[in-house]
Structure 1
Amino acid sequence: MNVIDKLAIQWQEKWKKAGFEQPLPVQTEMIPEMLAGNDIVAQSPTGSGKTLAYVLPVLERINPERQNVQAMIVAPSQELAMQIVNVVREWTAETGIDVAQLIGGANVQRQIEKLKKKPAIVVGTPGRLNELVKSKKLKLHEIRMIVLDEGDQLLSREHREAMRNLIEKTQHDRQLVLVSATVTEEIELVADRLMNHPTRIHITQEDLPEFGKVTHSFVKIEERDKTDMLRRLAYLKGMKGLAFINNLDQLLMKENKLNYRDAGVVALHSEMKKEERKQALEAFHSGKVPILLATDVAARGLDVEGVTHVIHVDVPQTPEQYLHRSGRTARAGADGEALTLLSYADERQYKRISKELPARPVQKVWDRGNLIEGSSKTIAKKGSRK
């Protein structure tokens, strides 16, 4: 039996209207467990359908006749929280189920007014949620479901205390669900302390046959030349690239240099105002600019269609981080490329990461306005034959 058939008719109809066919693996496993009220730790790759895997059972379990907050969805970043709100609003249109967005950087008074209308679902970031709880504007004792999206980030040391404060103020028999693309042993232990006999769900990339092929490639380059390579990549035909930079200072410096040279890039980082972030994302979503520069934190949970390249401007710290970033391309059956700008200093780290990849990375070089397979020696030989 299809798990969608376990939902009320209105959700089944919306599912069909949205053009979905078979549910994805994480949805097949999570929906029945959530409907049963079980605590869950679910690990599944980026873009594998995690949001609907929890949104649908949350909607199913909401009682529209009860005038109080019944479900709280927590996200580590404003962007992810806004994306979740958009998904919930899309599915709750004309159902009478209301959702409130409670994120930092937005007008708190407006959010308080929204809470007075007793929404059934709240979606927010840890800081703002705690602020509203402390001021007694958000009451947690009636909440029956809590979802931690990108839960590894929410239960990391940075947010752990804030999350504990929130979770401990809810009723003891509430349902707690954690979803993430990566779940470390440490996060498993923290989740265990907060949950009642959680169900473990682990979906791997191999479980997702509908994903396209990711080509892993690298270009050997001097550190000082990375900014110029980004400028060149911005002019590649059909480029829609998400470029990851480890360090905020480096990101700001590259953004300034590229903007000075009128390269087609926008940036996403923690120091931007809400309106600036919105404009940057719209410019990238719409295709006005071909490359979005981002740190891992700023890009967490971002779901952008049609990303052709994930560009690792800096080599990630771990294989998990590399795969998490690279999972933003090759979605919905399309192929994609994970391109690393590899400086000499990072070669050892990249070699370690490469051992974890499903295929050996391909070396590429820049030649006459294009990226082609080969090394600088191949290009030299090609030139000498002329």
Structure 2
Amino acid sequence: MSFLEKMDDVFKNKWKFEHETPIQSQMIPELLNGKDIVAESPTGTGKTLAYVLPMLQQVDGDKMKTQALIMAPSQELAMQIVNVIRGWVEGTSISVTQLIGGANMQRQIERLKKKPTIVVGTPGRLVELVKARRLKMSDIRYIVLDEGDQLLSREYRVIVKDLIEAANTDRQVAVVSATITDEIEIVAKKLMNDPVRLKVSLEDMPLSGKVIHSFVKTEARDKTDLLRGLSHLPDIRALAFMNNVDQLRMKELKLQYNEAPIAVLYSSMKKFERQETLERFRKGEIRILIATDLAARGLDIQGLTHVIHVDVPHTIEQYLHRSGRTGRAGEDGEVLTLLSYPEERSYRKLAKDFKPVQKVWYKGNLAEGNSKTVSGQKPVTKKPNKKQ
């Protein structure tokens, strides 16, 4: 019997959930059987519901205790997960609340007094509430690390380990992400009980859209002007990435001065500023949203036409995470890299399997340029003038 056949009618009938994605069909039965999971599946392939649906089957909303915890590396992702859960539990006794930094802690404490069934939080705020003895970890039997590669990185690893070990000894743990490195898998296994390893690739997805990978040659100092030009294309709706938050802030000032339909998103922004920026982007008032990896982790923004790498990512995992924001749910998309001359070698290594096409910015439009790709060979380009 499949999960869909066993799913409570209150969920199935309300949402007309009829088709499982590959990661859902693999992950849901294992979670319902009590297994710990390390799951890898591309962005936009249904990972959230893959752990939310079995969690809703396992918790009991009539019990006055917090039974499940979902950890996320960013406020936006945590809020997004909460909104998904709220939609599914409407009309049931199951409750959910968010515990994130940047929000009023006293209000969160008041919500915890009501013993929500599920809590979704960021590591820093969760630790604060545990230390203040407001979040009782010993009652928690189900734990999910969403964007687990980020949560088990060196930045959060000790915090997350302490939270997991403080939970109920008979706990179930799931780690999900678009990319799971060997190092992260080793760390995850130390915190889990004989976990099942699951992996889905884009080729396994029946609704994968066509995604073009492309690049535009430019001087580093001209990237801001190029972004400004791209923002005025009539059909563009892009999420752009930079590697350095300080450079992001500098670009913000330049773009504000020229009143381009572009905004920035970074983790140190105030909560209401981030929410306002995302809402303006979703409404189409902003054409290009520039962010760091942490700020954009797990954001589900529908209808993105482009992902723009303002800076070439440091690793293939970064490239995949960023690029996976477009071409979702069967839609086509484009991954465009603004490529300065010093970045060519790194880009060739990252993008060789995607056979990117070269484009040029000409008279306010993107057009295909050199037909040669950078797959295994250096493009024929004019050397920059060292005197410039």
Which residue does 1:5 correspond to in 2? 5
Matches within 5 A, 1:80-95: 80-95=77-92
Structure 2: segments with no counterpart, 5+ residues: 372-378, 381-388
TM-score relative to the length of structure 2: 0.94
Q: How far does residue 356 in structure 1 lie from its aligned partner after superposition?
A: 3.0
- The CA deviation at 1:375 is 4.0
Is the 2:357–2:370 Cα contact (8 Å) retained in structure 1?
Answer: no
Question: Are 2:267 and 1:270 aligned?
Answer: yes
User: For each residue in 1:23-72, what CA deviation from the matched residue of structure 2 results, as whole angstroms up to 9, or x when unmatched?
Assistant: 10111011111111110000000111000000000001011221100100
In structure 1, distance between residues paired with 2:329 and 2:196: 28
The equivalent residue for 1:28 is 25
Tell me which residue corresponds to 2:14: 14
Aligned to 2:376: none
Q: Which amino acid aligns with 1:209?
A: P
1:62-141 aligned within 5 A = 62-141=59-138
Equivalent residue, structure 2, for 1:315: 312
Question: What's the CA shift for 1:228?
Answer: 0.1
Q: How far apart, CA to CA, are the structure 1 residues paired with 2:257 and 2:250?
A: 11
| 1:361-376 pair list within 5 angstroms | 361-375=356-370
Q: Does 1:50 align with 2:47?
A: yes
**Aligned counterpart in structure 2 of residue 40 of structure 1, from 22, 37, 40:** 37
Give CA-to-partner distance per residue, 1:353-377, whole Å, 9 cap, x none.
12232xx111001112210001499
Distance 2:150 2:331 in 1: 28
Whether the aligned pair in 1 keeps the contact of 2:74 and 2:267 (CA below 8 Å) is no
Secondary structure of the corresponding residue to residue 353 of structure 2? coil
Partner of 1:383: none
Q: Residue 165 of structure 1 corresponds to which residue in structure 2? A: 162
Contact preservation (8 Å) 1:64, 1:96: yes
**Equivalent in the alignment of 1:205:** 202
Runs of 4+ in 1 over 3 A off after TM superposition: 375-378
Instruction: Indicate conservation of the 8 Å contact 1:245/1:312, yes or no.
Output: yes
Classify the secondary structure of the residue corresponding to 1:141. Answer: helix
Distance 1:228 1:103 in 2: 36
> Shift of the alpha carbon at 1:168?
0.8
TM normalised by structure 1 equals 0.94
Whole-angstrom distance in 2 between the partners of 1:118 and 1:249: 40
Q: Which amino acid aligns with 1:7?
A: M
CA RMSD of aligned residues (A): 1.4
- Give yes or no for the alignment of 1:279 onto 2:276: yes
The separation in 1 between residues aligned to 2:2 and 2:192, in whole angstroms, is: 28
What is the 5 A alignment of 1:240-319?
Answer: 240-319=237-316
State the Cα deviation string for residues 259-303 of structure 1 (Å, max 9, x = none). Answer: 110100111002210010001100111111100000111111111
Tell me, yes or no, if the aligned pair for 2:48 and 2:81 is still in contact at 8 Å.
yes
DSSP 3-state at the match of 1:292: strand
Instruction: Tell me how many residue pairs correspond in the alignment.
Output: 373
Counterpart residue type for residue 102 of structure 1: L
C-alpha contact (below 8 Å) 2:62/2:94 kept by paired residues: no
**Aligned-partner Cα distance in 2 for 1:277–1:215:** 29
2:245 counterpart of 1:230: no
Q: CA deviation at 1:2?
A: 4.1
Report the alpha carbon displacement of residue 94 of structure 1 after superposing the two structures with TM.
1.2
Query: What's the secondary structure of 2:143's corresponding residue?
Result: strand
Structure 1 regions of 5+ residues with no counterpart? Answer: 379-386
SS in 2 for 1:281: helix
